[in-house]
Structure 1
Amino acid sequence: MVKAVVLGAAGGIGQPLSLLLKLNEVVTELALYDIVNSPGVAADLSHINTPAKVTGYLPPPKDGSKNAPNEGLKNALTNAHLVVIPAGVPRKPGMTRDDLFKINAGIVRDLATGIAQYSPDAYVLVISNPVNSTVPIIAEVLKKHGVFNPKRVFGVTTLDIVRASTFTSSVSGADPRKVRVPVVGGHSGVTIIPLLSQISPPHSYTQDEIELLTQRIQFGGDEVVKAKDGAGSATLSMAQAGARFASSILNATVKGESGIIEPSYVCLDADSVGGKQVKNVVNELDYFSSNIELGKNGVEKIHPLGNISEYEKNLLDAAIPELKANISKGISFVADGSKL
């Protein structure tokens, strides 16, 4: 039995993500949790003719009324193999990912507490923004409960990879399905560092093209926020990206496939050798996105950044202070305000 859990399953990302996980042949049980509507989403998905059993859960009624005690989060998380967290409010026009912190940090902290209590061995995939801060929040909560395993907590940066493939292909004419661009750093603005010098298959861009592509990859989310005109942020593309990364985790940890490499924002302590190599380059940051080789226990190996261009070195220099502040903010949130 392979149980996957989506926390925030009724939202703009959660619903299409849950649909894609229902279609994943590795998943035999899919548990959906949200503060509203998750039983309805589960009922809808349960009509799809794939083997995965789908259940939906809610938190207890706020008025503490007539209904029997509801242990929705506990029931959703118990025996989970994989937990994906898209919970939180979306970005709106003019809102930065940092603006989201005040709202989403508390949501993520509370969900992390549930994970620590009911599914401490699960693989945790964090989509809730700002990822640069929410991943450290989850790690700190798990540490407080003595169950943190850096090999099993991942910030999902896959949308940056997907965008990089799409945007670069629009210039080169390559098939975007076959293009891979390592995107390192973090998951917001200038912390997103596309290594176009390492694109595969190789392609040469002019410096002007490199700068325009880099800007578009870093701020691609703004295109969607603007186009939706206040109605939300990137949900469908994020759901696809989250499902792609979840599939990679399942293929490595359940099916035993080897050689799976996906960039992800992780604690660099997950690999004492590769993580240390990256730390030496990124001014001893504790969290950073790099190419991660996945194995049966999660993070198998953190790959070094490799040879990067002078332009990419400048991008890295600009990203490090921002990442340091983001990480510190997440850690401080748990240290100063969490009631665990």
Structure 2
Amino acid sequence: MSVTRKFSDILTRRTINSSVRFFQVCVMGGASEIGQAVSLMLRTEPAVGKLVVHDTWRAAPGVVIELSHVPSKSTLKGYLGEATMKQALDGSDLILLVGGLLKTPGMSDEACLDANTEFVKTVSSQIGRLSRMPFVGVVAEPINSLVPMAAELMRNEGTFDGRKLFGVTTIDWMRARTLYGARHGVAPEECFVPVVCGHSDETTVPLISQARPGTDMTDPEIRKFVSRLRGYEESVTRAKRGQSPTVSVAYGALVCARGILAALSGRDALVHAYIENNDFGTSYFSGLVRVDANGVKEMTRYTDDISECECQILEEALDRLRKDVAMGKKILEVE
């Protein structure tokens, strides 16, 4: 079975069957734009036995009431305020961090990091105090810095397992398939385009040399493809009259959650994620990750036929990624 087919099968709903175990999923920041969309999709996900929605925003109870109107066999529970955070997290198998401020046009990664540090800091510290670490998926931006930050905070609290912490980068893979398929006249679901390195307009690197179906794109065409992929978020924001992408990002979070829930159920799973990984000249790296019930098993490596052009793009991205990682790790230095 090809990697493309295997990846698609694992990430589709068809992997969830009647023998699946039911899990508790907690959405932190569930009243945010992305949080509401993620919660809605998870509400009817077969593997979710209990959905917990938490937010500090006062509209959260209304969101939970709305979700309760969606017919589902899963249990639904809502929590409001920082004082209830521990209750919301307790017993969770998967926690998604989707709150914080959405990045807007003209906002730098540094400004977005400053805005979302408190959210990730508070939640990560609480997770670190749990008796066991669940799977944790960070959707809040900027992922390049917030995931290392979350890791340092959890380590400082005592409960941490790096195999279970993910930056959710599925949206990069989705966009790459869409763009590649459109260029080659192929349905996106029939395309496989690995996206590696980081998750930003300077660190996202699609590997066209590894794409399927294959292509003979020139170096200038590859650079143009990379530029278009990195600019997708901005183009969506312009089309939405200044509003950031939310629906596609939420769906990416759902796809990642499905993969993790499949792994927890004992099935082979692949997710596109940003994880702790020292194999690529930096301590964090994004790519296609194989996961089991204990967390990350391995990340797919691509060493054959990577073009000189791609190597150059990757080196430039790694320089920036190292700075982003270092910025996130500094959290304990300024405590």
What is the TM-score of this pair, normalised by structure 2?
0.89
What secondary structure sits across from 1:29 in the alignment?
strand
Which consecutive residues of structure 1, in runs of 5 or more, have no partner in the other structure? 61-70, 269-274
Matched with 1:265 is: 274
What secondary structure sits across from 1:263 in the alignment?
strand
Write the distance in 1 (CA, Å) between the matches of 2:205 and 2:270.
17
Give 2:188's match in structure 1, choosing from 157, 161, 176. 176
Matched with 2:138 is: 126
Write the distance in 2 (CA, Å) between the matches of 1:294 and 1:85.
19
Deviation at 1:330, TM superposition (A): 0.6
Deviation at 1:40, TM superposition (A): 1.4
Matched with 1:298 is: 295
Residues 30 and 55 of structure 1 are in contact (CA less than 8 Å); yes or no, is this contact kept in structure 2?
Answer: yes
Write the distance in 2 (CA, Å) between the matches of 1:292 and 1:200.
18
Matched with 2:4 is: none
| 1:174-253 matched pairs, under 5 angstroms | 174-230=186-242, 232-253=243-264
Cα 1:21/1:242, change in 2 over 3 Å:
same
Q: Is residue 2:29 matched to residue 1:8? A: yes
Write the distance in 1 (CA, Å) between the matches of 2:141 and 2:298.
25
Q: Is residue 2:285 matched to residue 1:288? A: yes
Matched with 2:46 is: 25
Residues 126 and 155 of structure 1 are in contact (CA less than 8 Å); yes or no, is this contact kept in structure 2?
Answer: yes
What secondary structure sits across from 1:181 in the alignment?
coil
Q: CA RMSD in A?
A: 1.5
Deviation at 1:119, TM superposition (A): 6.3
Letter of the structure 2 residue corresponding to residue 48 of structure 1: V
Deviation at 1:113, TM superposition (A): 1.0
Percentage of matched positions with identical amino acids: 32
Residues 181 and 198 of structure 1 are in contact (CA less than 8 Å); yes or no, is this contact kept in structure 2?
Answer: yes
Residues 184 and 263 of structure 1 are in contact (CA less than 8 Å); yes or no, is this contact kept in structure 2?
Answer: no
Which consecutive residues of structure 2, in runs of 5 or more, have no partner in the other structure? 1-21
Residues 13 and 239 of structure 1 are in contact (CA less than 8 Å); yes or no, is this contact kept in structure 2?
Answer: yes
Deviation at 1:18, TM superposition (A): 0.6
Write the distance in 2 (CA, Å) between the matches of 1:2 and 1:212.
42
Write the distance in 2 (CA, Å) between the matches of 1:298 and 1:38.
31
Letter of the structure 2 residue corresponding to residue 330 of structure 1: G
Letter of the structure 1 residue corresponding to residue 264 of structure 2: T
Matched with 1:271 is: none
Deviation at 1:97, TM superposition (A): 2.6
Deviation at 1:77, TM superposition (A): 0.5
What secondary structure sits across from 1:245 in the alignment?
helix
Aligned pairs, number: 312
Write the distance in 2 (CA, Å) between the matches of 1:145 and 1:74.
14
Q: Is residue 2:171 matched to residue 1:159? A: yes
Give 2:326's match in structure 1, choosing from 311, 325, 328. 328
| 1:86-125 matched pairs, under 5 angstroms | 86-118=98-130, 120-125=132-137
Give 1:47's match in structure 2, choosing from 66, 69, 75. 69
Deviation at 1:47, TM superposition (A): 1.8
What is the TM-score of this pair, normalised by structure 1?
0.88
Deviation at 1:120, TM superposition (A): 3.9
Write the distance in 2 (CA, Å) between the matches of 1:119 and 1:24.
27
- Deviation string, structure 1 residues 231-283 (Cα, Å, up to 9, x no partner): x21100000001000100001112x111x222311001xxxxxx5xxx2xx32
Q: Is residue 2:95 matched to residue 1:83? A: yes
- Deviation string, structure 1 residues 288-309 (Cα, Å, up to 9, x no partner): 1122111111101122232221
